[in-house]
Chains A and B, each alone.
Chain A
Amino acid sequence: MRSFRTRSSTLLLLAVTGAAGVATSSLPAGATAPRQEGARTPVATSRQADTSSLTPHVPTDSLPAPDGPTGAGEELEAETRRVASSLRCPVCLNLSIEDSPSRLARDMKDMIRRRLERGETPAEIRQYFVDRYGEWVLVSPEPEGVNLLLWMLPAAGLLGGIVVVTAVVRRWIGRNEETASPQPE
Chain B
Amino acid sequence: MNWKRWLIPVSIVPLLALFVFGLTRSPDEVDSALLGKPAPAFALETLRGDILSLSDLTGDTPAVINFWATWCVPCIQEHVVLQQLDSVHPEGELRLVGILYQDRPSNARRWIEERGGEWPILLDPGSETAIEFGISGVPETFFVTRDGRVLHKHLGPVTAPVLEEWIPRLLEEDGVSGQGASATTGNGGASGP
CA distance A133 to B133 in the complex (A): 8
CA distance A130 to B33 in the complex (A): 8
Contact between B132 and A55 (Cβ–Cβ < 8 Å)? no
A131 within 8 A of B: yes
Interface size class of B (residues with CB under 8 A): 20 to 34
Q: Min CB distance, A121 to chain B, in Å?
A: 19
Nearest B residue to A93, CB-CB: B27
Do A48 and B192 touch (CB < 8 A)?
A: yes
Does A103 lie at the interface of the complex (its beta carbon under 8 Å from any beta carbon of B)?
Answer: yes
Which listed residue (B33, B135, B191) contacts A131, Cβ 8 A? B33
CB-defined contacts of A59 to chain B, threshold 8 Å: 126
Closest B residue by C-beta to A55? B104
Contacts of A47 in B (CB 8 A): 191-192
Residues of A within 8 A of B104 (CB): 54-55
CA distance A132 to B129 in the complex (A): 11
Q: Mark B126-141, 1 if CB is under 8 A from A, else 0.
A: 1110111111110000
Which chain B positions have C-beta within 8 A of A133?
Answer: 30, 33, 134, 136
A132 touches B131 (CB 8 A): yes
CB of B133 within 8 A of CB of A104, answer: no
For residue B124, which residue of chain A has the nearest CB? A107
A91 within 8 A of B: yes
Additional A-B contact list (8), CB under 8 Å, known A91-B192, A93-B27: A54-B193, A104-B102, A107-B130, A110-B126, A132-B33, A132-B134, A133-B30, A133-B136
29 contacts between A and B (CB under 8 A): A48-B191, A48-B192, A49-B193, A51-B193, A54-B103, A54-B104, A54-B107, A59-B126, A90-B134, A90-B136, A91-B136, A91-B137, A91-B192, A93-B27, A102-B192, A103-B102, A104-B191, A104-B192, A107-B102, A107-B126, A107-B128, A108-B131, A131-B33, A132-B40, A132-B131, A132-B134, A133-B30, A133-B33, A134-B134
